[in-house]
């Protein structure tokens, strides 16, 4: 096979898919680092974000990109609300209780999406978009947009975590929760910030998946495993690791089609997840061990 063909048909779609996974994986890794549990409703929260954007696109007649900020804010608010109504009451219980509760939340969110928007496949815009040709590289505008948006959002988060007082407080809480409390850092505010960020990134992940493929009520749930694989591959608690992990899982999934039937594409993420947990549970960038 020709090199350009490999890039055009496998690597570029892999990077786009990987960017979408990365947006979700960053939230998963952040929740792991600060709240110390696996949040299984992460995928369905992304679905909700995608459909909220759809409502804005069809309701106001604007482009998905303009709908994105609204979807981010709305989904962040939903995430904070879910935490207040459900997870907050389970904080003192064993973590597995919250993990199971988040599975229930996932089903609830999906049910709401199915009741409001139905179970049919939807799209933000009809018609086929032809890729532009850049010296033989065939890339669609929305693909460039997805990648750039991911870099901007994650880069912004990284700046927030390293430069701002509350960002540093989040890192402190992840690093040493007891000492953070002894320093007088308000645990509740840090938790709320975590949900605002994770919820917002979830919405972005869902909107870009919808933009590059189509909207289905199961779209987020099907992303959950690859997003977890990405977070663990990169190293739990590592933002840049989640991005790296997301890109690797996305590209690996696309490339796997060359050797295994495409129906088994999703098994690739599972294989990466298992392999990392067995061989190097701290991930590529040395994160926490769960």
CB 237 within 8 A of CB 170: no
Q: CA geometry: angle at 69 spanning 66 and 75, to 5°?
A: 135
171 binds other proteins (CB under 8 A): yes
Long-range contacts of 67-70 (CB under 8 A, 24+ apart): 67/207, 68/149, 68/203, 68/204, 68/207
Q: In this complex, which beta carbon is closest to other proteins, that of residue 190 or of residue 225?
A: 190
Residues numbered 186 to 205 that lie near other proteins (CB under 8 A) are: 186
Which residues 6+ apart lie within 8 Å of 146 measured at CB? 16, 19, 20, 208, 211, 212
Give the shortest CB-238-to-other proteins separation in angstroms: 10
Least distance to other proteins, CB of residue 128, Å: 47
Q: Does 36 bind other proteins (CB under 8 A)?
A: no
How many angstroms separate the CA atoms of 6 and 130, rounded? 18
Q: Is there binding between residue 163 and other proteins (CB under 8 A)?
A: no
# binding residues, other proteins (CB under 8 A): 16
CB of 174: closest distance to other proteins in angstroms? 8
DSSP β-bridge partners for residue 203: none
Among 3, 94, 127, 182, binds other proteins (CB under 8 A): 182
Identify each DSSP E strand in 162-268 by its residue range.
none
Part of the chain binding other proteins (CB under 8 A), chosen from 145-153, 169-177, 247-255, 269-277 = 169-177
Residue 168 contacts other proteins per CB under 8 A: yes
Per DSSP, the chain holds a count of helices (H) and strands (E) of 12, 2
Q: Is 184 a residue that touches other proteins (CB under 8 A)?
A: yes
CA 30 to chain CA centroid, nearest Å: 11
- 165 lies in the site for other proteins, by CB under 8 A: yes
- Of residues 98 through 157, those in contact with other proteins by CB under 8 A are none
Q: Measured from the CB atom, is 66 or 181 closer to other proteins?
A: 181
Residues that bind other proteins in the complex, under the rule CB under 8 A: 165, 168-169, 171-172, 175-176, 178-186
């Amino acid at each position: 096979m020709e090199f350009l063909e490999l890039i055009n048909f496998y690597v570029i779609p892999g990077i786009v898919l990987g960017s979408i996974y990365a947006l979700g994986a960053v939230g998963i890794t952040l929740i792991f680092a600060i709240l110390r549990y696996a949040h299984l409703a992460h995928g369905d929260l992304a679905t909700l974000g995608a459909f909220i954007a759809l409502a804005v696109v069809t309701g106001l007649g604007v482009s998905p990109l303009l709908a994105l900020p609204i979807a981010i804010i709305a989904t962040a608010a939903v995430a904070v609300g879910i935490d207040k109504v459900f997870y907050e009451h389970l904080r003192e219980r064993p973590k597995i209780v919250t993990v199971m509760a988040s599975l229930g939340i996932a089903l609830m969110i999906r049910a709401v999406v199915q009741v409001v928007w139905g179970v049919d496949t939807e799209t933000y815009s009809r018609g086929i978009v032809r890729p532009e040709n850049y010296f033989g590289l065939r890339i669609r505008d929305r693909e460039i947009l997805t990648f750039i948006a991911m870099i901007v959002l994650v880069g912004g988060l990284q700046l927030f975590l390293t430069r701002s007082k509350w960002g540093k407080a989040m890192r402190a809480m992840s690093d040493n929760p007891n000492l953070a409390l002894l320093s007088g850092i308000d645990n509740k505010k840090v938790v709320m910030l975590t949900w605002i960020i994770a919820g917002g990134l979830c919405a972005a992940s869902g909107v870009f998946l919808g933009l590059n493929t189509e909207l289905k009520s199961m779209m987020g749930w099907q992303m959950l495993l690859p997003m977890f694989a990405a977070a663990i591959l990169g190293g739990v608690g590592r933002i840049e690791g989640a991005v790296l992990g997301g890109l690797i899982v996305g590209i690996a999934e696309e490339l796997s089609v060359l050797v295994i039937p495409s129906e088994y594409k999703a098994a690739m993420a599972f294989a990466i997840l298992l392999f990392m947990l067995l061989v190097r549970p701290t991930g590529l960038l040395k994160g926490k061990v769960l």
